[in-house]
Amino acid sequence: MAERIELDFYFDVSCRWAWWTSIWLRRVAKERPISINWKVLSLAVQDNADDYTKGRADHPQHVRDFQLHRPLVLARRQGGNDALDRLHVAYGNAIHGSKADIWEAAVQAGCLAAAGLPASLYDDALTDPSTETEVIAESREALERGVLGTPAIAIAGTDAMLFGPIIGAVPSGPAALALWDSVHAALQTDYFFEIKRNRRTAHTAQFAD
């Protein structure tokens, strides 16, 4: 039997690339001995680690989207990694799947219900200053670790990490596993740095299974 692999997956919930990669990795985890630690990396903190509220002129939405990570870390605080994962799925399906306005109260309520979380969790997170502190600290820790952005995958407890994979469609079945085998091999090759190609794949809405 293959040895279980524990991964750290870094994401910004507003990043569609991270969303698609997370769907793929969830599919792989159903077939391979993989466990995933879901970790937030706010792009606003990546833009300005000293003061995320200053943001970047070309990506002002990152500052706004920072707030979406606060319910995620509160969900984890209350229900562990699985609760954060469930809310990540609900948010991702709404933002990147249905293209819903995540800032509408009804959409937030629907996401919390879909994740099996208390109806007050969103408001509780935004009124608890410790959730802001936690998102900042976790994002800075990722950057100090060497994470280059979202999505990123690392083998827990090691220096083995990669930015991506960036995918324009989410594979399933044997194709998903074949991609994982390639990514896993790259993770284990410490002198491998980067491969890149033009983005020509059609981008479509993607829902978690």
* Confidence bin at 168 (pLDDT 50/70/90): confident
Alpha helices in 127-172 (DSSP H): 129-145
CA distances, 197 to each of 19, 165, 194 (Å): 20, 12, 10
pTM assigned to the model: 0.93
205, pLDDT greater than 90: no
pLDDT digit string (tens) for 14-25? Answer: 999 999 999 999
1, pLDDT greater than 60: no
pLDDT digit string (tens) for 44-67? Answer: 999 998 999 987 877 889 999 999
pLDDT digit string (tens) for 83-119? Answer: 999 999 999 999 999 999 999 999 999 999 999 999 9
- Amino acid of residue 194: E
Rounded to an integer, what distance in angstroms lies between the CA atom of residue 151 and that of residue 158? 17
Rounded to an integer, what distance in angstroms lies between the CA atom of residue 137 and that of residue 5? 25
Token duo for residue 192: 């491998």
- What mean pLDDT is predicted for residues 165-171? 91
**Mean per-residue pLDDT over the chain, rounded:** 93
Phi, psi (deg, nearest 5) at residue 154: -135, 150
Phi, psi (deg, nearest 5) at residue 72: -65, -45
For residues 2 and 196, the model is more confident at 196
pLDDT digit string (tens) for 121-153? Answer: 999 999 999 999 999 999 999 999 999 999 999
